[in-house]
């Protein structure tokens, strides 16, 4: 066994407090172990650096108690190695002895064997060979570095047994373009197609071709005609013929249709009657049972105040509209369109209490 003492990693010079001796790389490709010797009167830190290319390193740090000689036999695993020794105290060392000795491993001369040699595995089974080469059977998974050429891989694979696709994603991500040129226009469906969540209205991107749209369409129309306060005329089941983009000609195709008339009366309530303070709200008027499209707000005020109209669908959440009136000591009144289910008034100024009589009437 050959031993060689390092000339790049050796020192007998004591270190000041906190200072570090730094060696340099030795090529230890032909060595198996390093015998490391460190002796100092202060606590020291030995760091071993190993590298395969002098660029990327991995290290091991060993802390050594002062006054205790340290010896370690280190197994070399990389072709390059160097060491550092640091005085980890704040006091200068009195002495430092550091050296490294590399040892080679003697390789024994192989014994001569006959021409017929049997090789057995760990279970005592004789391993076979083919054409002078030992047969090797792989039972574990191997990691492949590089590229595996599957250019001659069969397009279709025969599967023996059952293929479990229970964890197959419902939606597949496709990279590139999917050619559906040969996709059948009509698909045969086995079972039931659930369209319960199909949107009632579909958004169309592009142009809808209505070239085969019938020239005459059967149209069911209901319109309201008012004569005075009480007459509602309902017209149903008329056929409309489309003449151009701007005009529709209406004609009765078979016979005169009967007119269905229903009478209705206005609805209205007194919603304020007395002193109204800032922030007060009136009684709500329900329009659910009336075919009203407008409301009138009118009354009399004894002083200045601001009344705003509020709309609601559920008689719980009311929203202040842009319709407001600034009152003076006089009569007031205005009419606005209304399609909500409930309507009421709210005093929205910050003035003192004022006697107000206010009515809301739907028409």
Tens of pLDDT, residues 60-84: 999 999 999 999 998 998 999 999 9
The pLDDT of 1-18, averaged and rounded, is: 91
Tens of pLDDT, residues 102-119: 998 665 655 555 556 677
Mean pLDDT of the chain: 81
Q: Which CATH class is domain 267-362?
A: mainly beta
Q: Residue 64: what pLDDT?
A: 94
Residue 232 banded pLDDT, cuts 50, 70, 90: very low
CATH 2.60.120.260 domain position(s) in the chain = 267-362
Tens of pLDDT, residues 149-185: 777 778 788 888 887 877 878 788 888 888 877 888 7
Residue 199 has pLDDT above 70, yes or no: yes
The more confident residue out of 159 and 130 is 159
**pTM of the predicted protein model:** 0.32
Q: Residue 73: what pLDDT?
A: 92
Tens of pLDDT, residues 304-322: 999 999 999 999 999 999 9
Q: What is the 3-state secondary structure (H, E, C) of the chain?
A: CCEEECCCCCECCCCCCCCEEECCCEECCCCCEEEEEEEECCCEEEEEEEECCCCCEEEEEEEECCCCCEEEEEECCCCEEEEEEEECCCCCCCCEEEEEEEECCCCCCCCCCCCCCCCECCCCCECCEECCEECCCCCCCCCCCCCCCCCCCCCCCCCCCCCCCCCCCCCCCCCCCCCCCCCCCCCCCCCCCCCCCCCCCCCCCCCCCCCCCCCEEEECCCCCEEECCCEEEECCCEEEEECCCCCEEEECCCCCCCCEEEECCCEEEEEEEEEECCCCECCCEECCCCCCCEEEEEEEECCCEEEEEEEECCCCCEEEEEEEEEECCCEEEEEEECCCCEEEEEECCCCCCEEEEEEEEEC
Q: Residue 242: what pLDDT?
A: 43
| Superfamily the domain 3-103 falls into | Mitogen Ypm (2.60.120.510)
CATH 2.60.120.510 domain position(s) in the chain = 3-103
Residue 225 banded pLDDT, cuts 50, 70, 90: very low
Share of the chain above pLDDT 90, in %: 46
């Amino acid at each position: 066994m050959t031993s060689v003492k390092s000339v790049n990693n050796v020192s007998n010079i004591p270190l000041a407090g906190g200072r570090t001796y730094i060696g340099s790389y030795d090529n230890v490709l032909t060595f198996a172990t390093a015998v490391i010797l460190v002796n100092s009167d202060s606590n020291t830190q030995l760091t071993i650096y190993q590298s395969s290319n002098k660029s990327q390193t991995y290290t091991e740090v060993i802390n050594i108690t002062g006054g205790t000689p340290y010896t370690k036999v280190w197994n070399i695993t990389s072709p390059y190695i160097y060491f550092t020794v640091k005085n980890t105290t704040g006091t200068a060392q009195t002495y430092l002895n550091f050296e490294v000795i590399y040892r080679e491993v003697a390789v024994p001369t192989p014994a001569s064997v006959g021409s017929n040699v049997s090789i057995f595995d760990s279970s005592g089974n004789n391993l076979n060979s083919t054409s002078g080469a030992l047969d090797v059977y792989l039972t574990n998974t191997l990691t492949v570095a590089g590229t595996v050429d599957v250019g001659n891989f069969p397009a279709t694979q025969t599967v023996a047994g059952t293929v479990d696709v229970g964890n197959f994603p419902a939606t597949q991500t496709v990279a590139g373009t999917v050619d559906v040129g040969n996709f059948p226009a009509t698909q045969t469906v086995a079972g039931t197609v659930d369209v319960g969540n199909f949107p009632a209205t579909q958004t169309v991107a592009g142009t809808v071709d209505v070239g085969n749209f019938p020239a005459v369409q059967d149209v069911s129309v209901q319109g309201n005609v008012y004569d005075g306060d009480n007459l509602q005329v309902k017209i149903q089941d008329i056929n409309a013929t489309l003449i151009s983009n701007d005009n529709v000609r209406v004609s009765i195709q078979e016979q005169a249709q009967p007119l269905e008339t229903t009478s209705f009366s206005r609805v209205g309530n007194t919603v304020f009657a007395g002193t109204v303070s800032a922030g007060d709200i009136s009684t709500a008027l329900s329009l659910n049972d009336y075919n009203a499209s407008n409301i009138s707000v009118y009354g009399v005020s004894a002083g200045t105040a601001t009344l705003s109209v509020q709309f609601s669908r559920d008689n719980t959440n009311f929203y202040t509209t842009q319709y407001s009136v600034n009152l003076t000591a006089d009569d007031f009144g205005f009419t606005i369109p209304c399609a909500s289910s409930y309507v009421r008034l709210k005093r929205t100024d910050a003035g003192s209490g004022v006697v107000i009589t206010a009515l809301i009437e739907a028409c």
